[in-house]
């Protein structure tokens, strides 16, 4: 006999994030809307703590959901408890923010509207920190860490995830994340002393 194709479950405000991401991967725009309503407010707050420019925060937020729509949702793999979706979305958002900040390179001071007034380029604090982490002594020291220590340090310190979010993202217990971060910081202190 013919089997009837099973319809995907309806999505709505009560759907869990894993189901919503699966629906987004299947091309269901209403699932993306629900995800956006659920996650955009807290993402905006957390991104605003890392960047004072509301336009950059808005761009990062938009880029996050565009990335989810354009294929990232298809790559999402739930860890089992379904709570890791928020950490996964946060990882996309913070990486989009960092990319936008790197792309801007410099902040402009002065309007350049007065005759003889020139615009001067000044690096933002975020840009200087990112360049120092990536290209300075700290970046080299981080690169020498084991992959496990580096991943825990990146998730908690550089990406700003909580221990719980990092544990969910990395697929290890919270205590393991804490231990790895502590060990990574100790090794960095030794190398940079």
Q: Which domains does the chain have, with CATH numbers?
A: 11-104 (1.10.1740.10), 125-193 (1.10.10.10)
User: By the 8 A CB rule, do 83 and 168 touch?
Assistant: yes
The predicted pLDDT at position 178 comes to 95
* pLDDT score at 157: 81
pLDDT at position 113: 42
Q: Is the pLDDT of residue 39 over 60?
A: yes
Nearest Cα to 68, choosing from 9, 23, 14? 23
Q: Which residue has the higher pLDDT, 129 or 165?
A: 165
Q: What's the confidence (pLDDT) of residue 80? A: 58
Q: What is the pLDDT of residues 84-108, one digit of tens each?
A: 788 889 889 988 888 887 766 534 3
pLDDT at 123: 47
Confidence of residue 132 (pLDDT cuts 50, 70, 90): low
For residue 7, what pLDDT is reported?
Answer: 56
Distance CA 35, CA 29 (A): 10
Quote the pTM value.
0.55
pLDDT tier for residue 18 given thresholds of 50, 70 and 90: confident
> Mean pLDDT throughout 148-161?
82
Q: How high is the pLDDT of residue 109?
A: 34
For residue 26, pLDDT over 80 is answered with yes
CA torsion through residues 161, 163, 164, 168, sign:
positive
Residue 125 — very low, low, confident or very high, per pLDDT cuts 50/70/90? low
Distance (Å, whole) CA 132 – CA 86: 29
Partners of residue 49 on adjacent β-strands: none
Token pair for residue 162?
Answer: 């909580």
């Amino acid at each position: 006999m013919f089997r009837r194709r099973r319809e995907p479950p309806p999505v709505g405000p009560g759907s869990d994030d894993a189901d919503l991401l699966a629906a987004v991967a299947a091309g269901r725009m209403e699932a993306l809307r629900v995800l956006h309503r659920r996650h955009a407010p807290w993402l905006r707050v957390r991104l605003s703590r890392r960047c004072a420019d509301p336009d950059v925060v808005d761009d990062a937020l938009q880029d996050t959901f565009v990335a989810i729509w354009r294929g990232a949702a298809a790559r999402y793999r739930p860890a089992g408890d379904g709570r890791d979706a928020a950490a996964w979305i946060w990882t996309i958002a913070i990486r989009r923010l960092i990319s936008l900040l790197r792309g801007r390179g410099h902040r402009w001071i002065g309007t350049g509207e007065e005759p003889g007034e020139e615009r001067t380029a000044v690096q933002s604090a975020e840009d200087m920190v990112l360049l120092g982490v990536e290209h300075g002594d700290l970046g080299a020291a981080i690169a020498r860490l084991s992959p496990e220590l580096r991943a825990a340090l990146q998730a908690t310190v550089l990406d700003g995830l909580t221990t719980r979010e990092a544990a969910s993202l990395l697929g290890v217990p919270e205590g393991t994340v804490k231990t790895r971060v502590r060990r990574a910081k100790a090794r960095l202190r030794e190398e940079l002393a």
